[in-house]
Amino acid sequence: MFSPTITNASTAIPGVTFSVHRIGMGRRTDIDLLCLKDRQRMRELEADFPAASPRETELNEQLEIAQAKALALDAVAFTAVTEGEVKPLEKELAASIPPDVSKTRSVLNVEYALVDRRIRAQWIRSGLIAIVHRDPDGAPVEEGIDGMTADQLLEYGPENLAQEIYTALIGDGKLLGAGTKNLRSPTTSGAVAGGQSPNTTAPLAEAAPTPSTSIAIVSGTSPET
């Protein structure tokens, strides 16, 4: 049975549930129109983002392999691989990027993050109904985010919860299984390695920008329905 609202158990913060509206096509169009200038600015920033050099691309690939290798090992081996492979590659990658390129990317990433937050705010204000936080015994949590409004969440709430709610709203109100553990924001205009911008879903790097080839913050527009 179709429900106009959905309640999700947060994967970002244990004990938290949040209820959201399922945003229909008409309202999605309204949100897109409100975000039109911001989405255009995102495309401009993506176009200006310096492309990766062949050496950067090579080192990024090596770094991804080393990181995946480390994560597959026990604690002792993880430390050894991190110290012996991951950190040297990170250092070499950072050194391969000219200072002016690194500075340009940092400036673009800062503005991109600000634009992303404005788009995300439109979605959360349009779709969030309620946030509930309970302790393991089911009692309300007196402090923190229980009962937090959309504006409170956006102003000083947990960043990972805001991202999770935004991602659910984009996905018709639903969180989609284990893939939401490390939430990344869907988009229809995301920057990727090499500075190219495909018209497909691209990931959002929530961490602080690293010396990588892509814009670190990518936002979303409404998916095609």
Whether residue 6 is found in the same domain as residue 84: no
Whether residue 30 is found in the same domain as residue 80: no
Which residues lie below 8 Å from residue 112, measured CB to CB, with a gap of 6+? 42, 45, 215, 216, 217, 218
Number of domains in the chain: 2
What would the two tokens of residue 125 be? 């204000």
Write out pLDDT tens, residues 22-55: 999 999 999 999 999 999 999 999 999 999 999 9
Q: Are 4 and 22 in contact (CB under 8 A)?
A: yes
Helix (H) or strand (E) holding 200: none
Whether residue 167 is found in the same domain as residue 135: yes
- 98 pLDDT tier (thresholds 50, 70, 90): very high
Round to whole Å and give the CA distance between 204 and 210: 13
CA atoms within 13 A on the CB side of 133: 15
Write out pLDDT tens, residues 109-126: 999 999 999 999 999 999
On average, the pLDDT of the chain sits at: 80
Domain that holds residue 68: 54-96
Q: What is the CA radius of gyration of the chain?
A: 19
Whether residue 162 is found in the same domain as residue 79: no
Whether residue 181 is found in the same domain as residue 73: no
